[in-house]
Amino acid sequence: MKHWIVRTLLKLYPAPWRREYGAELEDMLLARPLMVHIVGDVLRNGLWQRLRSAEPAMLVGLGMMLMALVKHPLDTSPYLLVLFGCGLWTSLRHGGDSFKSGRTAIKISIIVGIPVMISGALLWAGVLVTAIPVAKQLCWLRVSEPISFWQGLKSATCAPAPLGFLISPLLMLPQAWLWGTLGGRFGRWIASIR
């Protein structure tokens, strides 16, 4: 069990770091008793090393994800400008490859969509409950639908659809790729002018 815990903790560190220092840290952790503060320290340092060696797309994605927790950025034009800018930056950094620029924008969009997908999974599992009263019918993708002709022209609001929450970030991926690729093409144009 101790070997499994140590190997799991070491996987938190980036691969280049593990190649250089992993065996030494593994030997030290196996030689001592694993106490909570040691595991916490290794966990914290592993995440710090991951953050230090992260690509710019990862850092921008995490920043946008934190903004998403405060204000939903997928509905605003700054989100599209960030995707365009990251595509531009990637193109200038890697020599004008539009495919890499689009892939960078997709990575950012996936990272930003993680909280939305997690909330969809929690809604689906019944862990997350909403304050919206649920109509008698099951809503998969629609937020509201008419009740019936006999009850008038009122609209019954369904609870947020778990499937809609799960797939909505995935539906944003083509748009993210497009904006990243446009930024990459603009970067290629800038590089050709220089």
Domain boundary among 9, 31, 53: 53
Q: 102 vs 134, which has greater pLDDT?
A: 102
pLDDT tens by residue, 164-175: 778 888 888 999
Closest by CA to 84, choosing from 163, 164, 187, is: 187
For range 109-114, the mean pLDDT: 87
Q: Tell me whether strands 144-146 and 155-157 are parallel, antiparallel or unpaired.
A: antiparallel
Same domain for 75 and 140, yes or no, is yes
Same domain? For 40 and 103 the reply is: no
Average pLDDT over residues 10-23: 90
Both 60 and 151 in one domain: the answer is: yes
111 and 31 part of one domain? no
The answer to whether residues 27 and 86 belong to one domain is no
Same domain? 61 vs 18: no
Confidence category of residue 178, pLDDT binned at 50, 70, 90: very high
Give which of 51, 4, 47 is closest to 29, Cα–Cα: 4
Do 30 and 79 lie in one domain? The reply is: no
Q: Tell me: do 154 and 111 sit in the same domain.
A: yes
Same domain, yes or no: 18 and 111: no
Q: Determine what percent of the chain is predicted with pLDDT higher than 70.
A: 77
Residue pair 173/109 in contact by the 8 Å Cβ criterion = yes
Same domain? For 93 and 149 the reply is yes
Total domains present in the chain: 2
How large is the average pLDDT for residues 150-158?
A: 47
Residues 54-95 have pLDDT tens digits of 777 777 888 888 777 676 545 556 788 888 988 888 888 877
Name which of 89, 82, 140 is nearest 111 in CA terms. 82
| Residues 172/173/174/178 CA torsion (nearest 10 deg) | 100
Query: Could you read off the pLDDT of 37-55 as tens digits, one per residue?
Result: 998 999 999 888 888 877 7
Do 102 and 150 reside in the same domain of the chain?
Answer: yes
Domain range spanning residue 25?
1-53
Query: 53, 74, 89: which is the final residue of a domain?
Result: 53
Judgement on whether residues 135 and 178 belong to the same structural domain of the protein: yes
Residues linked to residue 100 through DSSP beta bridges, in sequence order? none
Q: How far apart are CA 73 and CA 165, in angstroms?
A: 15
